[in-house]
Amino acid sequence: MTETNPTLDPDALEPEFRDAHEERSAETPLEPEPETAADDTTAAEPRPAEERETTLLTARLNDTSRATGSWFDEKWAAFTATPAAARWVEWVLFGLVMLVAVLTRFLAIDHPMKLVFDETFYVKDSWSLVHLGYEGSWPEGANDAWAKGDPNTYSSEASYVVHPPLGKLLIGLGMLIVGADNAFGWRITVALAGLATVALVWFIAKRMFRSVPWAAFAAFLIAIDGHAIVLSRITILDGILVMFVLLGFLFMLYDRDDQRAKIAAGVRTWWLAQDAPLNGEPTPAPVSSTMEAPAEARRGPNWGPRLWNRPWLMAAAAAFACASAVKWSGLYFLAAFCVYSLVIDLLERRRQGVTLWASAGILMQGPISFILTIPLAAAIYLATWIPWLTTTGGYYRTWAEQPGKAWEGLLSWVPLPLQSLWHYQVEAYKFHTTLDATHPYQSSPLGWPFLARPTAFSYDYFKAGDGSGCTEELCVEAINSISNPLIWWIGTAAILVLLVLQFRRPSWRAGMILVGYGAGYLPWLAVLERQAVFHFYAIVMLGFMVLAIVEVLRTIVGTKEDPRSLRTASLAVLFIGIGVVTLVSALFYPIWTGIQIPDSYWRLTQWLPTWK
């Protein structure tokens, strides 16, 4: 019994050759198409080729109803007329976007010169970790000592922490290089991670949409969004987590192209080996890239190629493992994209005419992909615990050495430090799943898509004449991890649009975006009973929301082949929208960075009552 299925899959609806066509058409001016003569008499009169082309072009230019593109399209074509010019324009745009990211993340990053919000945990834990090999304990008044430039008041007594060590090791490394006696030193790592996130969104969008302008647009939205800015200026783990998640997503994009190309090459090799030469030439592989499904399933290779050479898949697994070694929520992305890779394998084998495509994907390639990813991810995660494993003072480090604690039976061979580490992970899992502490800024995941309850990291109030520089009756210095509301709400709407369209007109781009968004959001719906959950956890969703915005706007804005009036109007609305979003970011920027503002200004940023 064969497992063929001629039903059209998402990739057949949007084949790869179309991406290349879109990329070329974005850079090459459209040639005027020949038109049918107005009457038989005119058509019968012979004309020189140059005269005929001139007449047709003049008629096209005079007929505004047939004009296509816009002024922007014409200028873009002029600026990118040669490959060298196109590269220059791309680097200029990339540089400008990164400059915006640098300014929003690094200006006055040492303000306030004190530990803010959960910096009290992660900064101090990071510093003791890189010195002791584990997180030490801190006396009362340690935060005040930090603010005065004394970071060395920790003790060798172990502290109980529930997050893996990689993010804290990176933060500690930044302090070792720059110094821990100032806020710039303890925030440099997250700021650099924030810059890397903007750059990664650029490269992801350019790869996904084959467009430099859309890549610049996506990266610019991340560069000016408050959620991303705050988590690049306050030292907690989530900004580092986002960087590794997006790095893994970029590698998955590379692997998708590599995976499909290798399956196609393997199928073609099989067909060439099976078919007899025709007139001295091999019969080409009957692989269709048309929109039409074959009338009847054709015979193909039973299983297709085994893909062991998957460097980008392994790189993605490594990146997601690093994300998991920062916070366990990175595991959801590892699992989601391993499943995604398997689905792509199934669809591509079916599209390429593999007879037993389901068995091949699940029973043959599935185990291979597992071997390539999961052991590597486990090894990387374990490697981040080496400092804890090679010392003896860490929390639970000697648990298995206590009488009656060591494993017996089939697992008795496992080294005692690894048994202790496993116990540590189990206890940390119990902590995460049973935590019922309350917080005034806790936020249910049900409200995340609507920006219902952002997290206030810091508030300091001042009055006129108190020496703070306040000239009003009441002033405030606030740090609130709220996104630009327009970016967040439009992003939520775009996700919903893609979800609906995916059922009606499947697209591989929308599919990848939805997988990433779902991996960052859906697992939290399973722990709604947990109270101590905060909106800043949703930062991992932001990059995928921005990509969803681009995917939807690409359809609305159209291409330079659209009628000139329609294309001009759509681009005008887009640029006006970008301007409005930028102004909103400018309005909110003081409450993202702790700039002192009058209380009346502060109230202007409180659009919803739940934001107070």
Query: pLDDT for 145-202, tens place per residue?
Result: 888 889 999 999 999 999 999 999 999 999 999 999 899 999 999 999 999 999 999 9
Question: Does the structure show a pLDDT above 50 at 286?
Answer: no
396 pLDDT tier (thresholds 50, 70, 90)? very high
pLDDT at residue 32 is higher than 80: no
Distance of alpha carbon 585 from alpha carbon 580, whole angstroms: 9
What is the predicted pLDDT for the residue at 23? Answer: 42
**Residue 532 to residue 10: CA distance in whole angstroms:** 40
| Buried residues in 151-190 as b, exposed as e (16+ CB within 10 A) | bebbeeebbebbbbbbbbbbbbebbeeeebebbbbbbbbb
Is the pLDDT at 488 greater than 70? The verdict is: yes
Q: How far apart are CA 287 and CA 304, in angstroms?
A: 13
**Distance, CA of 183 to chain centre:** 28
DSSP per-residue letters across 319-339: HHHHHHTT-TTHHHHHHHHHH
pLDDT at residue 70, rounded to an integer: 87
> Residue 3 — very low, low, confident or very high, per pLDDT cuts 50/70/90?
very low
From the list 143, 281, 207, 305, the residue with the least C-alpha distance to 550 is: 207
Q: Which residues, 6+ apart, have CB-to-CB distance to 298 below 8 Å?
A: 286, 353
Q: What is the pLDDT of residue 61?
A: 45
Helix locations, 276-403, DSSP H: 311-324, 330-351, 357-359, 366-383, 386-389
Lowest-confidence segment of 65-69, 221-225, 580-584 by average pLDDT: 65-69
* Average pLDDT for 403-430: 93
Q: How many Å apart are CA 167 and CA 325, to the nearest integer? A: 7
Mean pLDDT of 208-227: 97
The mean pLDDT value of the chain amounts to 86
- Looking at residue 432, what is its pLDDT? 81
pLDDT class for 299, splitting at 50, 70, 90? low
Write down the pLDDT at residue 8. Answer: 35
- Banded model confidence at residue 274, pLDDT cuts 50, 70, 90: confident
Cα 590 to Cα 183, 219, 458: the distances in Å are: 18, 21, 12
The CA-atom distances, in angstroms, between 252 and each of 63, 213, 242, 333, 368 are 46, 22, 15, 11, 16
Q: Are 241 and 330 in contact (CB under 8 A)?
A: yes
Report the C-alpha gap between 369 and 371 in whole angstroms: 5
CB 327 within 8 A of CB 164: yes
- For residues 155 and 180, give the distance between their C-alpha atoms in angstroms, rounded to a whole number: 17
Beta strands in 127-237 (DSSP E): 136-137, 155-158
The answer on pLDDT for 15 being more than 50 is no
What does the radius of gyration of the chain's CA atoms come to, in whole angstroms? Answer: 29
Above 80 in pLDDT, residue 434? no
Q: 3-state DSSP: the chain helix, strand, coil percent, rounded to 5?
A: 60, 5, 35
Q: What is the band of 603 on the pLDDT scale with cuts at 50, 70, 90? A: very high
Lookup: tokens for 548: 């969803």
Task: Tell whether the model's pLDDT for residue 56 goes beyond 70.
Answer: no
Examine the pLDDT at 275 and tell me if it is beyond 80.
Answer: no
Q: Name which of 586, 609, 606, 573 is nearest 225 in CA terms.
A: 586
Most confident of 12-26, 46-60, 263-277, 384-398: 384-398
pLDDT number for residue 33: 34
The Cα–Cα gap between 571 and 582 comes to: 16
Q: Which of 91-100, 250-259, 470-479, 493-502 has the lowest mean pLDDT?
A: 470-479
Count CB neighbours of 311 within 10 A.
12
For residue 484, pLDDT beyond 70:
yes
> In whole angstroms, what separates CA 248 from the centre of its chain?
8
> Can you say how many angstroms the Cα of residue 368 is from the centroid of all Cα atoms in its chain?
26
pLDDT for position 51:
54
211 SS3 class: coil
> For residue 587, what pLDDT is reported?
97
Q: What's the rounded mean pLDDT across residues 195-214?
A: 97
In whole angstroms, give the CA distance from residue 501 to residue 512. 13
Cβ proximity of 349 and 95 under 8 Å: no
Which residues, 6+ apart, have CB-to-CB distance to 67 below 8 Å?
A: 60, 61, 563, 564
Percent of the chain whose pLDDT exceeds 70: 85
CB neighbourhood size of 235 (10 A): 30
CB of 235 closer than 8 Å to CB of 189: yes
- Cα separation, 251 vs 316, in Å, equals 5
Q: What is the pLDDT of residue 31?
A: 31
Residue 43 clears pLDDT 50, i.e. is over it: no
**Cα-based distances in Å from 474 to 8, 88, 158, 607:** 64, 49, 43, 20
User: So what's the pLDDT on residue 66?
Assistant: 67
Question: By the 8 A CB rule, do 240 and 189 touch?
Answer: yes
Whole-number Å distance between alpha carbons of 437 and 532: 6
Of residues 292 and 528, more confidence is placed in 528
Mean pLDDT of 410-430: 93
